[in-house]
Structure 1
Amino acid sequence: MIDFSKKPLFLAPMAGFSDLPFRNVVKKFGVDVTISEMISSNALVYESAKTLKMLEKAELEKPFIVQIAGSDEEVIKKAVLMLNDMDFIDGIDFNCGCPVPKVTKQNAGSALLEDLQKLKILVSTIKKYSKKQLTSVKFRLGFNEKYPDKIAKACEEAGADFVSVHGRTRKELYSGKADWESISLAKQSVHIPVVANGDINAQNANLALSQSKCDALMIGRASIGKPWIFLEIKNGKSVDKALKKQIILTHFEEMLKHYKKQGISIFRKHLHEYSKGYEAATSFRNEINQINDENSMRKRIENFF
């Protein structure tokens, strides 16, 4: 389902950003694999109505992977059984990388890097009960120290089909620079494909591949305000202003389709990013913060970009 020989590009799961409209835009403009925002297995099992909206996928998304987080074996099993009933999902990714205290306090996300035996049990549970084609794990280099080889090995032994590695420890959060060479330790220790993640952009993508020795790249924050980054990496050249404008307007239409009128206000955070580096960006941001009408917003976007 994923051809790793072609060094595919993944969109990283990002809370508040990699929603259906954004995924649909990057799918139209160069990304190979999309992953949902992180879904709490507890929320899925116990408050499913709210969470089900986050599981909707765009027509173009193939393969579409849903990322879940959690630390309770029974709850994760129930979450997997629920996802089995959704035919449009191609794979389940297990989050062992989220560094935020709200998640780690529940022994989930990157907290599992301190207990590789527990991590193995949870990945094995997903593998055992999932009817999806793909089971994967996303993790960091370690909790306080770096031991990506041990983590990758644990994932492989538990049945993961591939892993994605963010080039920082949990302790580092998002500070410093992602260590792609340490990701290569994970790659050397397993026989399954490894995806490199962390600080990758259009300018350094080839360097990230050569230093990490990985089979694919996963891009997160660098795509916010620049969803055309996937085209730039694939084509090796910058995207012109006309195409950027087309992508921004496409994104706006996708937001309206998915969120209806609420999409106008939600889209402001994206426009703040899109306008970076443009002349008069500050006054543009102040202006769009006051616009609540679809046609006025569309017109303002067309004029500004």
Structure 2
Amino acid sequence: MIDFSKKPLFLAPMAGFSDLPLRNLVKQFGADVTISEMISSNALVYESAKTLKMLQKAELEKPYIVQIAGSDENIIQKAVQILNQFDFIDGIDFNCGCPVNKIIKQNAGSALLQDLGKLQKILELIKKISNKKLTSVKVRIGYDKKEPIAIAKACENAGVDFISMHGRTRKQMYNGNSNYEAIALAKENIKIPLIANGDINAKNANDVFMITNCDALMIGRASIGKPWIFYEIKSGKKIDKAMKNKIIFTHFEEMLKHYKGQGVSIFRKHLHEYSKGYEDASNFRNQVNRITDADTMRKYIQEFFNKE
């Protein structure tokens, strides 16, 4: 389902950002594989209505992978059984990379990097129960120290199809630089595909491929406010202003379609990113923060981005 010989580009799962509208957008601009926002296995099992909406797939998504997080094996088993009911899901990714305290306190996300035996057991469980074509895992290079080889080996031994590795420890959160040499060490020591993640953008993408010898790249924060980054990496060309504007307007309309009335307020964070580098961006952000009406927001977006 994923041709790693073509060095594919993945959109990283990002809470609050990699929702259906953004995933549909990046698919139009060169993203090869998309992954849902991180979904708590607890939420999937106990709060199904709201969480099930997060599972929805955009029309262009193929393959489509859903990422789950958790640490309780019984709950994870039930969550996978729920996902098994949806034929449009092509793979399940397990989150062992999230560094935020709320997740760590549940012994989930990056916390599992402290117990590779438990991590391997959970991955084996997902692989065994899932009826999907793909099982994968997202990790960091360590918890408070670098252990990229041990982590990658544990995941490979569990039978996953591929690993994506963020080049920071949990302790670093998002501070300091992503360590591509550590990702390279992991890649050298496993036979399954490895995806490099962390601080990757249009300028350094080729260098990251060279340093890590990885099979694919995963783009996260660099795609926020720049969903066309996948096109720029693949083509080596920049997109023009008219196309940027078209993408921004399309994104807004997709948000309204997906979130209905809430789409206006949810889109503000994207407008904050889209407007970076524009003259009078600060004033524009202040204005849109107060807007709750779709037509008014549409007018402000048109005027601001067309005047440049």
Coarse TM-score class (shorter-chain normalised) = over 0.9
In the alignment, the residues of structure 1 paired with residue 275 and residue 81 of structure 2 have an alpha-carbon distance, to the nearest angstrom, of 43
Aligned equivalent of 1:23? 23
Q: Residue 107 of structure 1: CA displacement?
A: 1.0
SS class of match (2:142): coil
Q: Residue 291 of structure 1: CA displacement?
A: 2.2
Equivalenced residue count is: 305
In the alignment, the residues of structure 2 paired with residue 34 and residue 69 of structure 1 have an alpha-carbon distance, to the nearest angstrom, of 17
In the alignment, the residues of structure 2 paired with residue 239 and residue 107 of structure 1 have an alpha-carbon distance, to the nearest angstrom, of 43
SS class of match (1:168): strand
Q: Residue 290 of structure 1: CA displacement?
A: 2.4
Aligned equivalent of 1:230? 230
Alignment of 1:210 with 2:203, yes or no, is no
Q: Residue 292 of structure 1: CA displacement?
A: 2.2
Matches within 5 A, 1:112-261: 112-261=112-261
The one-letter code sitting in structure 1 at the alignment partner of 2:249 is: L
Deviations 1:37-91 (A, max 9, x none): 0011111011111211111111111111000011111111111111000011000
Matches within 5 A, 1:70-81: 70-81=70-81
In the alignment, the residues of structure 1 paired with residue 124 and residue 219 of structure 2 have an alpha-carbon distance, to the nearest angstrom, of 27
In the alignment, the residues of structure 2 paired with residue 292 and residue 41 of structure 1 have an alpha-carbon distance, to the nearest angstrom, of 33
In the alignment, the residues of structure 2 paired with residue 28 and residue 154 of structure 1 have an alpha-carbon distance, to the nearest angstrom, of 35
- Taking only the aligned residue pairs, the percentage that are identical comes to 72
In the alignment, the residues of structure 2 paired with residue 291 and residue 253 of structure 1 have an alpha-carbon distance, to the nearest angstrom, of 15
Aligned equivalent of 1:64? 64
SS class of match (1:21): helix
Q: Residue 299 of structure 1: CA displacement?
A: 2.2
Deviations 1:210-258 (A, max 9, x none): 1111000000001111111111001101111111111101100110100
Deviations 1:16-39 (A, max 9, x none): 111111111111111110000001
Alignment of 1:90 with 2:96, yes or no, is no
Instruction: List runs of 5+ in structure 1 lacking aligned partners.
Output: none
In the alignment, the residues of structure 2 paired with residue 248 and residue 296 of structure 1 have an alpha-carbon distance, to the nearest angstrom, of 15
Q: Decide which moves more: 155-164 or 45-54.
A: 45-54
The one-letter code sitting in structure 2 at the alignment partner of 1:266 is: I
Q: Residue 261 of structure 1: CA displacement?
A: 1.5
Alignment of 1:33 with 2:33, yes or no, is yes
In the alignment, the residues of structure 2 paired with residue 206 and residue 302 of structure 1 have an alpha-carbon distance, to the nearest angstrom, of 35
Deviations 1:160-212 (A, max 9, x none): 00000000001111000000111011111111000000000000000111111
Aligned equivalent of 1:295? 295
TM-score by length of 2: 0.98
Aligned equivalent of 2:282? 282
